[in-house]
Structure 1
Amino acid sequence: MMNEFEKASEQVEQLRKEIEHHNHQYYVLDQPEIQDFEYDQLMQELITLEEKYPELLSSDSPTQRVGGIALEAFPKVEYNIPKLSLANAFNDSDLRNFHHRVVSSIGEDVEYVLEYKFDGLTVVLNFEEGRFVRGATRGDGFVGEDVTSNLRTIYSIPLRLKEKATLEVRGEIFISKADFLTLNANREKNGEPLFANPRNAAAGSIRQLDPKLAAIRPLDAFIFNLENIEDKGFTSHSETLDYLKGTGLKVSEYFLCKGIDEIIEKCHYWSDHRQDLPFEIDGLVIKVNNLAQREKLGATSKSPRWAIAFKFPAEEKKTKLLDVEVQVGRTGVLTPAAILEPVSLAGTIVSRATLHNEDYIQARDIRIGDQVIVKKAGDIIPEVVRVVIEDRIGEERKFTMPKHCPVCGAHTHRVEGEAAIKCTNVACPAMVRRGIIHFVSRNAMDIEGLGPAVVTQLLENSLIKDPSDIYYLEKNKLMQLERMGEKSTDNLLKSIEKSKESGLARLIFAMGIPFVGERGAKVLAEEYKNIDNLFRAKVEDLTQIKDIGEKMAENIVAFFSEEENQKIIERLKTAGVVMEISQAEEKRNDLFEGLNFVLTGTLLHLTRKQAGDLIEERGGKVTSSVSKNTHYVVAGAEAGSKLQKAEKLGVNIINEDQFIEMIGTN
């Protein structure tokens, strides 16, 4: 006869199975069998038993989905088999070329599986003996981040499979369109910043260090690939998907297609009907179904040869242009922005879009009151593409750029030979705010904790009026600001103190001199060694330096001749900001002197900025595009069109390891 503990153990096991069954019915199949009240009773009964018998508590219990202790950082996960990305197709021709390559390689008929290309965050899940033991982000395909605690909070990921299988799968974390709208509505009500789109919301939620924050987000998951399993004798991809579905994993619908014509037909259909789906997709994935054929096709270093992703063209929507609002940037340039009748576009509600400049508006004859077509450039930045002329009713109004700054009222003028119209007041509040935000940014003085919201508070409370004031901030006054407690204030002051040692190149870049970017700032620091030497430089001297053109030289001289800028520099000096080139900055060799580099793809050991800095420290130059003047292309994972162009032009292509070897101890 069982004792009380054994009875409780049996009851706990039964409750867990029953709750997981109902989780599967509700979150995976969307076919609930019981009411919420009945489900809550089952859960409460399990919680009570686990509290009474703590030794029965286990990590795969349904009660553990609420999130555990916050982490300080995500542990790294190294993949034995790289998680490759897919090559892209953008039109029918790309799809036919893919099919031709496949058929030519294997010499027999091919069946394809077509799947949705989810717009979310890719993860890799591991199950041992049926229990969910680890989940990680894909990362760069070689190293990901362990986000198991956050993934445990997602109800569509079973903590126990329906069979005791040991396997690895790949899937996508996403937030449905309806849940995303509700999430943003709640954030707006609470005064929190809105998420840009469902993908950002999902990715940001999974990368929260506190699992409790992930637990309250409406995250969902689809599994789309079996990465590894003990031998089951599978012969096709569709067979593996059916198997995974049978284990309790949530697998999206897929389509079997016999030829490329059927694939193209479905690509066109879903390009037009993607809005009918309850979740965001940005394309379709086409995979060879037969696993033996896949093995024969193999893979390149970047992507498998048996699969391709068809990317949908940028979505376009029609809406009304209600008004044009002019914004003032860091350098005083006035930029027109379209105020739109809100429209759902590529997963977000868009109510503003860029109009670039006055010439852009005039060339397209864009008028206030027009029906316009908007799209997201690069699926990110909304822009007005064209006017629907046939919809005009005669009440539309032409727009002209203001003769006075909309912020400070000063006169504006058009820069000769450019489309830019600028405010003439160097003390314009909009310019001051943008200039300070630039000064403290990561690539400039890198003052952590001094973001746009804090800068705005400092200005509104008259604690600062220019960048130099940052170094004279007092703790007691900072703590009076909203959301600035003692700890955050101390951290900010430490970051401000640390920034004094940022170096001459960063300081020059931080000053926001027109046309002087990071590269130009480094060149100036190396040439002049300290700020006083640069202050005395003349246009004719500056133009003798490689990479310094006449326009940049004129702006440098004009900047240092401004009395207000001179005062700011003196106050920075007094505060202890280093104005001389450091030993680390000066320790440059000429290993890459005269050589042009292009960085493409994802690097494993270095960020692109780190690699760029290493090149420039050795006299080389980093450019954004490949040309006949490019000497080396450093190609990481997922290198795309730049790599192809380099191959076509015969440019030297090296990987990251070869690049690091070139640098050596130099």
Structure 2
Amino acid sequence: MDSQNYHFVIDTLNKMAYHYYVLDSPIASDAEYDALYHKLKAYEEAHPDSIVPNSPTQRVGDVPLSEFSKNTHIKRMWSLDDVFDEAELEEWLKRIQKTHPYATFTCSPKFDGASLNLLYEGGLLQSATTRGNGIEGELVTQNARTIFSIPLQIPYKEQIEIRGEVLIAKDDFTSLNAQRLTDNLPLFANPRNAAAGSLRQLDSKITVKRPLRFMPWGVGAIHTQKQSFYEILKSLESFGFAPMPFLVHCTDKEEIIKTYQNLLNTRETYPLMLDGMVIMIDEMAIQEQLGWTIKSPRFACAYKFPAVEKTSIIKDIVFQVGRTGVITPVAELEPVEIEGAMIARASLHNFSEIAKKDIRIGDRVVIIRSGDVIPKIISSIHTLRDGSQVRIQPPTLCPECAQELLLEEILIKCQNLNCPARVKESLVHFASKKALNIDGLGEKIVYELFDKGLVRGILDLYKLKEEDLLKLEGWKQKRAQNLINGIKNTYGIELWRLINAFGIEHIGEGASKKLAKIFGTRVFSISEAEILGIDGFGEEMARSLCEFNHANKELIETMLEIIQPKVQQREVVLDSVFAGKNVVITGTLSAPREHFVEILEGLGAKVSSSVSSKSDYLLCGENAGSKLAKAQNLGVQILNEEDLLKLLKT
């Protein structure tokens, strides 16, 4: 081989691989491919400076990593809201068609795998990042390069994020587990877990041996003149990606349901795992107008397949105590396999649910599990009872601390703040990924440290010493150092994480971020009135936060002193026309609602969700409803976007 036909050989090998791995239609034998590949490899070993990025030799696994780096997506990866039946679908469509009656829809299969974001610049693959929390994920470029259905080079030269699912076909999964059984290795629970585990191998030489494939389903950042999401997805085929099956452009509900039924009928026989259908508004301009909620786009949903049902027998009931003290009855079942996972336990949620469904110990029950959803008992089969079944009696004493329980509407709660179960669950939450994210401090370690008397509360974590941990059975120096370092890494962490870590009732991740941004560390001393002034915050949230602040003043002060969290408080223009004013937003605007909320709050306004006599302005978009009429009756000043821009300029 010489330099003249080097590129020809690369193109030939890539074409062979595309037909084999992507189209499942080989155009050459394995022997022909291997012979040509080894010629290419020999040439590149003799001429290392000539190697080009799209050479198939660049797919071979690289040196193992010690850990994955974090990488931020250019455009956020959102999760989708689910709909489960035609009634919910119709309700979702009505919301869309109320403001956009001529919207059309792109329907595509929802694959059950591991989501991946590919970034291309200048036509070359620059990075591959897992979904993570939607904002940032783990950088797995080294592993992604080993997947033949991911092109290393595409004809599109602008910057583009291409999103899709990393999958293992059902037959490949069966073969993979058969080999692992032969090698005396643990078996994968299902194809999705196998795909996710393979993608996150620190040694890409392991990943290259796994039969992974990539199926595109969307884009993130993109420079395009195309105004149709359907056309954008179709264009990915010309980039060298696998053609998306069952991709249909629909104009109404009837076409959407027909497409869904076709996909559902194919579910069992299709070689890849499917768990529903994605419905996306096709017009890109309408997508931008509708925008996003705090966690998902308003212009798309996932129409999930019916959950797989199995039956089992309830052997016993155990009572779990959560960090808020709520007692949850959990059924211990005869193990049953559902979608590749062995199910031996299922939550019964509360005692009202048990009474309504008349569920008893010894009953044969119907269980469902859909995707990652926790197994759920939906009914008992009363006709199979033989008289040996036993009614489930709610406990009167806490199963952990033996304190008397409180009946609070449909919930039964342990009010003992020092209850071991509550403390342990609080510690687990405190260390979790969306709280302080302490590496090496999972549930098992928390329970061990608590049971050995090393940790009895949050503050004890910061008193842990390496020598304390080394006294525990099975603990070595590296493991102990890693945990101590994980705790030290919480110093200077973002304030919202600390707020969320406290586990304040009704205050989750989104609320914690908003509170930190608006109030900074003053969040621990604000009044109910100030909280209620925040858009989206209700009375229960305000009361819960204020009660927590009052009851835990000393703990909060100590934690702030230890951690000294990073505060990224929003800069507020105190002399703006909106400073101290109450603003309500309604109707469809040119950008997502959150965009205008951030602008107005940055100018000192309080954005609330309802019009009242205290409202100063109503920012009004298209198709405004009752809020506009109420504002007019109350004499509230009404602004459109043009009015807002004029005021902003002043």
TM-score (norm 2): 0.64
Whether the 8 Å contact between 1:319 and 1:342 is mirrored in structure 2 is no
Q: Deviations over 1:109-148 (max 9, x none)?
A: x9x97542434536466586xx6444667989x9998875
Change (3 A) 1:645 1:8: same
Change (3 A) 1:526 1:302: closer
Whether the 8 Å contact between 1:321 and 1:369 is mirrored in structure 2 is yes
Where 1:311 maps in the other structure, the secondary structure is strand
* Counterpart among 224, 239, 242 of residue 250 in structure 1: 242
Whether the 8 Å contact between 1:370 and 1:392 is mirrored in structure 2 is yes
Q: Deviations over 1:396-434 (max 9, x none)?
A: 43322345554x4x4353314433334576654333322
| Amino acid of the structure 1 residue aligned with 2:212 | L
Where 1:372 maps in the other structure, the secondary structure is strand
Shift of 1:155: 1.1
Where 2:488 maps in the other structure, the secondary structure is helix
Whether the 8 Å contact between 1:184 and 1:195 is mirrored in structure 2 is no
Change (3 A) 1:160 1:311: same
Aligned counterparts of 2:481 and 2:604: Cα–Cα separation in 1: 40
Percent identity for Structure 1 against Structure 2: 26
Q: Which runs of 5+ in 1 are unaligned?
A: 1-6, 531-545, 636-642
* Counterpart among 290, 315, 320 of residue 307 in structure 2: 315
Change (3 A) 1:631 1:581: farther
Q: CA RMSD in A?
A: 6.7
1:283 aligns with 2:271: no
Where 2:165 maps in the other structure, the secondary structure is strand
Whether the 8 Å contact between 2:116 and 2:129 is mirrored in structure 1 is yes
Q: Which residue number corresponds to residue 359 of structure 1?
A: 352
1:59 aligns with 2:53: yes
Where 2:53 maps in the other structure, the secondary structure is coil
| Amino acid of the structure 2 residue aligned with 1:301 | Q
Shift of 1:335: 1.2
Task: Give matches, 1:235-384, under 5 Å.
Answer: 241=234, 245=237, 248-254=240-246, 261=254, 263-284=256-277, 300-302=288-290, 311-312=303-304, 314-323=306-315, 324-341=317-334, 350-375=343-368, 380-384=373-377
Q: Which residue number corresponds to residue 23 of structure 2?
A: 29
Aligned residues: 592
Task: Give matches, 1:91-240, under 5 Å.
Answer: 91=86, 93=90, 105=102, 115-119=108-112, 121=115, 123=117, 126=120, 132-134=124-126, 149-159=142-152, 170=162, 172-176=164-168, 178=170, 198=192, 215=208, 218-223=211-216
Segment drifting more, 54-63 vs 318-327: 318-327
Where 1:275 maps in the other structure, the secondary structure is coil
Q: Deviations over 1:377-401 (max 9, x none)?
A: 8973432223343454554433223
Change (3 A) 1:342 1:132: farther
Shift of 1:154: 1.7
Whether the 8 Å contact between 1:88 and 1:308 is mirrored in structure 2 is no
| Amino acid of the structure 2 residue aligned with 1:265 | K
Aligned counterparts of 1:118 and 1:555: Cα–Cα separation in 2: 42
Whether the 8 Å contact between 1:136 and 1:147 is mirrored in structure 2 is yes
Where 1:254 maps in the other structure, the secondary structure is coil
Shift of 1:355: 1.0
| Amino acid of the structure 1 residue aligned with 2:482 | S
Q: Deviations over 1:276-318 (max 9, x none)?
A: 32323343357899xxxx79x96552479xx976613552513
Q: Which residue number corresponds to residue 295 of structure 2?
A: none
Aligned counterparts of 2:343 and 2:318: Cα–Cα separation in 1: 15
* Counterpart among 421, 433, 436 of residue 427 in structure 2: 436
Aligned counterparts of 2:290 and 2:427: Cα–Cα separation in 1: 41
Change (3 A) 1:464 1:139: closer
Aligned counterparts of 1:207 and 1:659: Cα–Cα separation in 2: 48
Change (3 A) 1:255 1:591: closer
Whether the 8 Å contact between 2:118 and 2:125 is mirrored in structure 1 is no
Aligned counterparts of 2:111 and 2:93: Cα–Cα separation in 1: 23
| Amino acid of the structure 2 residue aligned with 1:51 | E
Aligned counterparts of 2:344 and 2:616: Cα–Cα separation in 1: 43
1:400 aligns with 2:393: yes
Q: Deviations over 1:163-213 (max 9, x none)?
A: x67686855223236366788999999999988982x87678768898668
Aligned counterparts of 2:127 and 2:321: Cα–Cα separation in 1: 45
Whether the 8 Å contact between 2:464 and 2:484 is mirrored in structure 1 is no
Change (3 A) 1:31 1:362: same
1:469 aligns with 2:460: yes
Aligned counterparts of 1:187 and 1:631: Cα–Cα separation in 2: 65
Aligned counterparts of 1:577 and 1:204: Cα–Cα separation in 2: 39
Change (3 A) 1:391 1:302: farther
Q: Which residue number corresponds to residue 536 of structure 2?
A: none
Q: Which residue number corresponds to residue 415 of structure 1?
A: 406
Whether the 8 Å contact between 2:309 and 2:369 is mirrored in structure 1 is no
Change (3 A) 1:548 1:220: closer
Change (3 A) 1:578 1:273: same
Aligned counterparts of 2:566 and 2:237: Cα–Cα separation in 1: 60
Q: Deviations over 1:499-551 (max 9, x none)?
A: 8xx99x998986768889888x999x969969xxxxxxxxxxxxxxx979999
Change (3 A) 1:247 1:416: closer
Shift of 1:348: 5.6
Whether the 8 Å contact between 1:444 and 1:507 is mirrored in structure 2 is yes
